[in-house]
């Protein structure tokens, strides 16, 4: 910004923090954790695209094969593992989407109260609600790990020999899905506490309606 603009009273542009990120002068461990969170978010975005392509491609293949073979027209046979991939891809989409929403702070929230409070009170409320969400997701992760351990015994089942997603791998989706969501919640809590400790208001891009005091 030039001196002329400053004299004219033009407000300085505030920094933009997309998803889970923090100012560059914050402690290195927190910056490293937010970097890991952003890398995971990138993987989640790629996962969403991959699962969508898998569902669309394999579902279209199954549709064409069923209709063409009914009319006695030759068509490539759908692999035996395709149905399981479609089902689990839909399952994965929910976890990828939920994890990315947790990273971006766009998961389900009720803002009828927070709109009427100051920025710092919103941060305090978000810390408390995210702590509750983290506890619940942690319980789910522990339960999912138990399901995974139980399904390990079915790995030798002949019916799963041709399946890409066995029962154990399907259960591992639960473990990793809940685990990544819990990680994003943990980082969110750490960042919110960091802003509270700094005694500075975060930019509007960090928390919803943050510019409305």
Domain map (residue ranges) of the chain:
28-198
The candidate with the shortest Cα–Cα distance to 151, out of 137, 162, 165, is 165
Q: What is the pTM of this model?
A: 0.80
pLDDT higher than threshold 70 for residue 6: no
42-72 pLDDT per residue, tens? 999 999 999 999 999 999 999 898 888 887 8
Residue found under tokens 């933009």: 16
Binning pLDDT at 50, 70 and 90, where does residue 211 land? very low
- Residues 150, 109: Cα–Cα separation, whole Å: 34
- Residues 78, 76: Cα–Cα separation, whole Å: 6
- DSSP code string of 115-160: GGS-HHHHHHHHHHHHHHHHHHHHHHHHHHHHHHHHHGGGTT-GGG
Binning pLDDT at 50, 70 and 90, where does residue 4 land? very low
Predicted local confidence at residue 37, as pLDDT: 93
């Amino acid at each position: 910004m030039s001196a002329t603009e400053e004299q004219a009273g033009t407000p300085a542009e505030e920094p933009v923090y997309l998803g889970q990120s923090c100012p560059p002068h914050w402690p290195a461990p927190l910056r490293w954790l937010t970097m890991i969170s952003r890398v995971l978010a990138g993987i989640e975005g790629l996962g969403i695209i991959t699962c969508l392509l898998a569902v669309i491609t394999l579902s279209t293949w199954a549709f064409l094969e069923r209709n063409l073979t009914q009319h006695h027209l030759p068509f490539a046979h759908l692999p035996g593992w395709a149905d399981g991939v479609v089902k689990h891809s839909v399952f994965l989409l929910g976890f990828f989407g939920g994890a990315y929403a947790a990273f971006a702070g766009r998961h389900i929230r009720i803002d009828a109260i927070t709109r009427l409070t100051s920025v710092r009170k919103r941060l305090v409320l978000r810390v408390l609600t995210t702590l509750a969400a983290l506890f619940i997701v942690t319980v789910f992760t522990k339960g999912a790990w138990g399901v995974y351990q139980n399904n390990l015994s079915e790995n030798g089942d002949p019916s799963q020999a041709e399946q890409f997603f066995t029962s154990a791998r399907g259960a591992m989706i639960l473990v990793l899905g809940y685990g990544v969501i819990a990680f994003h919640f943990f980082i969110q809590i750490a960042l919110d506490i960091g802003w509270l400790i700094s005694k500075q208001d975060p930019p509007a891009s960090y928390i919803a309606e943050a510019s409305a005091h």
